[in-house]
Amino acid sequence: MGKPTILILGAGYAGITTAIMLQKKLDKTDATIKLINKHAYHYQTTWLHENAVGTLPDHQVKIPIESVIDTDRIDFIVDTVTHIKSEEQRVSLKKHGDLTYDYLVVALGFETETFNIPGIKTHAYTINSVYQAGFLRKELEKKLTTYRRADKQTPFSIVVGGGGFTGVEYLGELTDQLPSLLEKFQLDEQNIEILSIEKEQSVMPGFDLELGEYAMQVLENKGVTFYLGMAVKSVHTDYVVVEKNGLTEEIPTSIFIWTAGVRSNHLIEQSDLEHVDGSVEVSDELRAPNRDNVFVLGDCTTISSTDHNQITSSTAQIAIQQGKVCAKNLERLIKGKSNELLSFHYKEHGLIASLGKSDAIGVLYNNRKVFGKEAVLLKRINENRVLHQIGGFPMLWKRKK
């Protein structure tokens, strides 16, 4: 084989980490590296709930990719991947046509999971990209403007479907911004209601129950009403149908935000890669089944080995750590050390969900629960660590919170 070509699909946490590490590990003579991403920027997905209510402006959430990669080493292509054909070692792009590869890294992230609930695609807003977060922010303001001019006989009802990580973080941020929204649209507190609908008996299912209850207490004090044990059945222009204990009812909505599910990028399901429910069960070295030259990372993967059973959800931390192992393994493969590949072992740094700017909840690597100011501080430290990993001290200095 001549100089091999590595294609990295997606410049989210996993893809950008792989690219940044590879540019340090491989010389120009070792391999051609191409990074393909839909946009010219990487975005901090973990900050999207803040962007969705306007706390963080777009320019702080977006990081121009060319500012963090060495464009002499990496050929960066802004385009949308449309097909992955691993049998042919070929990837199709919307504008640039087909690209062939020797090694492929699939890091295309997540999409909204609708669970086939009618109306989610057409009537629900989501927070899964900068575009969607911006759209939600603008639509909320537009609807509040219309409401302000109307007779205000019923409250403006902001309904969030799903009390998981994203839903809780969004509610925390939204309730922080509520006083300024009321002032901006000249409304009273009783004009706006904020509802959270959760299928389980507490928010943050999968997290510690005490933390879920703490989160609900904080958010209730900030004006959120929780409907627990209630499943969304269908979504309509101005109401949702829900079911509780076998009984259905309609809940009026002025705006409905769906935060209850994510799934791997649909391109996995449409590709010829072996997958389970659209997600690739990777080997310990992070390779796809029967495809030794294809690495799959981040939210496109399921990790099945016993060692990783503790991983319960997709996170930026997992994506970053996988990106590092993938880069090291690619270096070894290219330098002829295929018998020295590393296995991925996830190092838990703790997971913290914010409840607005002055409160948070989380579990640390040693299972210690954290609340309040301590959790806020630890979340900031985690966020700044990610910034440093992506863009070093200049990035940390410019964008730190």
Ligand X SMILES: Cc1cc2nc3c(=O)[nH]c(=O)nc-3n(C[C@H](O)[C@H](O)[C@H](O)COP(=O)(O)OP(=O)(O)OC[C@H]3O[C@@H](n4cnc5c(N)ncnc54)[C@H](O)[C@@H]3O)c2cc1C
Count of C-beta atoms within a 10 Å radius of residue 339: 6
Size of the site for ligand X (CB under 6 A): 35
Residue type, 248: T
Q: Does 67 bind ligand X (CB under 6 A)?
A: no
Q: How far is the CB of 400 from ligand X (least distance, A)?
A: 16
Q: How far is the CB of 64 from ligand X (least distance, A)?
A: 13
**Mask: binding to ligand X, 147-186, rule CB under 6 A, as x and -?**
------------------xx--x-----------------
Q: Which is nearer to ligand X, 38 or 332 (CB)?
A: 38
Instruction: Single out the catalytic residue among 111, 169, 198, 383.
Output: 169
Q: Which is nearer to ligand X, 109 or 119 (CB)?
A: 109
Alpha carbons 291 and 307: distance in angstroms, whole number: 22
Please report which residue ranges of 162-226 form alpha helices under DSSP H.
165-184, 209-221
**Mask: binding to ligand X, 8-27, rule CB under 6 A, as x and -?**
--xxxxxx------------
Q: Which is nearer to ligand X, 79 or 141 (CB)?
A: 79
Q: How far is the CB of 226 from ligand X (least distance, A)?
A: 19
Give yes or no for a contact between 345 and 307, defined as CB atoms under 8 angstroms apart: yes
Q: How far is the CB of 277 from ligand X (least distance, A)?
A: 16
Q: Does 196 bind ligand X (CB under 6 A)?
A: no
β-strand 32-37 against 74-78: which pairing, if any?
parallel
Alpha carbons 183 and 180: distance in angstroms, whole number: 5
Stretch that binds ligand X, among 33-41, 178-186, 243-251, 270-278 (CB under 6 A): 33-41
Sign of CA dihedral 174, 176, 179, 181: negative
Alpha carbons 56 and 52: distance in angstroms, whole number: 8
Q: How far is the CB of 84 from ligand X (least distance, A)?
A: 10
- Residue ranges in 251-290 that form contacts with ligand X under rule CB under 6 A: 265, 267
**Among 115, 131, 390, 392, which Cα is nearest to 278's?**
115
Tokens of 55: 């706390």
Q: Which is nearer to ligand X, 123 or 263 (CB)?
A: 263
Stretch that binds ligand X, among 32-40, 150-158, 231-239, 368-376 (CB under 6 A): 32-40
Report the length, in residues, of the chain.
401
Q: Which is nearer to ligand X, 187 or 271 (CB)?
A: 271
Q: Does 38 bind ligand X (CB under 6 A)?
A: yes
**Mask: binding to ligand X, 75-94, rule CB under 6 A, as x and -?**
-----xx-------------
Site for ligand X (CB under 6 A): which residue of 48, 168, 242, 294?
A: 48
Q: Does 244 bind ligand X (CB under 6 A)?
A: no
**Among 94, 111, 84, 92, which Cα is nearest to 267's?**
84
- The answer to whether residue 285 is catalytic is no
Alpha carbons 158 and 193: distance in angstroms, whole number: 6
Q: Which is nearer to ligand X, 157 or 271 (CB)?
A: 271
Alpha carbons 226 and 159: distance in angstroms, whole number: 10
Q: Does 45 bind ligand X (CB under 6 A)?
A: yes
CA distances from 233 to 157, 198, 204, 222, 252 (A): 18, 12, 20, 27, 14
Residue type, 338: S
The contacts of residue 223 (CB under 8 Å, 6+ apart) are 175, 178, 189, 192, 194
**Mask: binding to ligand X, 290-329, rule CB under 6 A, as x and -?**
--------xx--------------xxxx-x----------
**Among 120, 115, 114, 113, which Cα is nearest to 240's?**
120
Tokens of 81: 């991947």
H or E element in which residue 369 lies? strand 369-371
The residue at minimum Cβ distance from ligand X is: 12
Count of C-beta atoms within a 10 Å radius of residue 224: 24
Binding positions for ligand X, rule: CB under 6 A: 10-15, 36-39, 42, 45-46, 48-49, 80-81, 107-110, 127-128, 165-166, 169, 265, 267, 298-299, 314-317, 319
- Indicate which residues carry an active-site annotation: 169
